[in-house]
A and B are shown apart, each in its own frame.
Chain A
Amino acid sequence: MRRMWILGIESSCDETGLALYHDQRGLVAHAVHSQIDLHQAYGGVVPELASRDHVRRIVPLYRQVLADAGIVAADIDAVAYTAGPGLAGALLVGAAFAESVALALGRPAIPIHHLEGHLLSPLLSADPPAYPFVALLVSGGHTQLMRVSAVGEYEMLGETLDDAAGEAFDKTAKLLGLPYPGGPALAALAQQGTPGRVKLPRPMLNSGDLDFSFSGLKTAVLNAVNKGLDEAGRADLAAEFQEAVVDVLVGKSLAALRQTRLKQLVVAGGVGANRRLRERLDLELAQRKGRVFYPELALCTDNGAMIAFAGAQRLAAGLAHPADAHEIAVRPRWPLDTL
């Protein structure tokens, strides 16, 4: 069997990620440029700045991964890239670059769904889960539970009805006067506080389905902030907020495992790096003789490795659908269960 090099390109939001995955050697090279510093001043990701920064970063990162892997462009067998969902301008940078490289090399380009990259990313670790498993995807733009039966076989079990969990973290952080990115700053403040001193709701925890809602939690935080808080009060509120989000994420994940009668949970997306969430999931799953799998920390946030890997998996499964005309088409809104 011929050996394969897959180039992976991710540019759906504020990280430019490139990687080279080899079907026998695994992940050989990957590089990510994060725009956190760029957006920090503005308190959030700025779409147009994001696209411009992707343009600046993508070629140097491409050269870097080629050099790190010790190969030349002609060695690349396929180019996988994030075609959606995400910010249209940001996606177009990666798509245009990927299709151009593929066209120049006479190789296929494989459009990949960003969330498929995330939910397959734990399979890149040294001790990967086996299909089937339940995946909890939690990030700034997404919160959903999926049943993953095989590559390309995803069933939506539940998702947020309003705000994503990461968005709730970011906006709550802003309400508490914390700097961007809000999630890690809020988690740090929560460590100094005690949950339960201020009471916040656990939205939809007992709704009987697997959907989420975080918008009401944000409103409850606003009401608490408006009543006036001292330093200790802020920390307690941060701790209670984090506990409320974690309670809901954990409760719904366990319900999804019960409903599907599965024992393996995969957690992907930026919020999956939250320490309190990991502690609680590890404990709950251990008590149920189940297991929870996380991508390596470096692969929790957006990266090219997961896109290269998803491309390789799709190629191996005969599920890659290269656009023969090298059309540059992105899908800023693209439900994962329509793959």
Chain B
Amino acid sequence: MNDSTVVIDLADTAATEALGARLAHALAPGLCVFLEGDLGAGKTTLVRGLLRALGHSGKVKSPTFTLLEPYAISSLNFPLYHFDFYRFAHPDEFIDAGLDEYFGQTGENAGVCLVEWPDKAGAHLPSPDLRVALAVVGEARRAQLVACSEGGRACLSRLSAVVASRPPAA
């Protein structure tokens, strides 16, 4: 265990959403976050908590069908993209769908990319700044957050500084 890894036990769905809320306040433009874990581990739940904490009151739909759900959040001055590559059979689908254009952007176009099932896009995806792995522990979950870059380490230290805040009531 070092400053690049944080492990957080999540008792229930509310705890997963609360972790999303903490992550929300630690984001920076250009950050790429991989969300890992099996079906039902809580990846989309975490994204919902994150978006709610940023003031998004609309729906947070699973991007499984559409591959990408983009969000323009008024409290952020950069776009946020929620990807889900669950349905990819071959990593080349990522390139064929033109999704590479969203990653590695700089300046005004740099958004935050939250990626579910990143392994399905294989080597086409740039390496993430932060990996959030959700493991199923009975009915609870255990989140392991690993910083993989300077940006990721900065995000993780901001996250550690955020007092666990509850997402605002809908």
Contact = CB atoms under 8 A, between A and B. Distances in A.
B39 interface: yes
Interface of B: 13, 38-42, 44-45, 48, 59-62, 64-67, 86-90, 92-93, 96-98, 136, 138-139
A39 B87 CA distance: 10
A39 B64 CA distance: 15
A223 interface: yes
A45 B48 contact: no
The residue in A45, A160, A175, A219 that gathers the most chain B C-beta atoms within 10 A of its C-beta is: A219
7 contacts: A161-B61, A162-B44, A162-B59, A174-B39, A218-B40, A219-B13, A223-B136
Contact of B66 (A163, A219, A223, A332): A332
Contacts of A162: 44, 48, 59-62
Nearest to B89: A42
Nearest to A218: B40
A226 B137 CA distance: 9
A161 B13 contact: no
Nearest to B88: A46
B59 A222 contact: no
A215 interface: yes
Given A46-B89, A141-B66, A216 B13 contact: yes
Given A42-B89, A47-B87, 10 more contacts: A46-B88, A48-B97, A87-B67, A88-B98, A160-B61, A162-B48, A162-B62, A167-B62, A223-B136, A226-B136
A321 interface: no
A221 interface: yes
Interface size class of A (residues with CB under 8 A): 35 or more
A141 B63 CA distance: 9
A99 B15 CA distance: 51
Contacts of B96: 47-48, 51, 89
B100 to A, nearest CB: 13
A140 B66 CA distance: 11
A123 interface: no
Interface in A114-141: 140-141
Contacts of B138: 223, 226
B62 A175 contact: no
B40 to A, nearest CB: 3
A167 B64 contact: yes
Given A47-B87, A89-B97, A226-B136, A141 B65 contact: yes
Nearest to A221: B40
A333 interface: yes
Contact of A159 (B59, B87, B97): B59
The residue in B40, B60, B139 that gathers the most chain A C-beta atoms within 10 A of its C-beta is: B40
Nearest to A217: B40
Given A167-B62, A226-B138, A46 B93 contact: yes
A161 B39 contact: no
Contacts of A46: 87-90, 93
B87 A161 contact: no
A152 interface: no
B59 A161 contact: yes
A48 B93 contact: yes
B87 A44 contact: yes
A43 B38 CA distance: 15
A59 to B, nearest CB: 21
A181 to B, nearest CB: 13
Contacts of B44: 162-163, 215
A281 B13 CA distance: 32
A264 B124 CA distance: 50
Closest 6 CB pairs of A and B: A222-B40, A42-B89, A141-B65, A48-B96, A219-B40, A46-B89
A303 to B, nearest CB: 19
The residue in B66, B67, B89 that gathers the most chain A C-beta atoms within 10 A of its C-beta is: B89
A333 B62 CA distance: 13
Interface string A42-62: 111111110100000000000
B45 A215 contact: yes
Interface in A138-174: 140-141, 159-164, 167, 171, 174
B47 to A, nearest CB: 10
B42 to A, nearest CB: 7
A175 B40 contact: yes
B71 to A, nearest CB: 12
B136 A88 contact: no
Nearest to A211: B59
A47 B97 contact: yes
Contact of A222 (B87, B92, B136): B136
A334 to B, nearest CB: 11
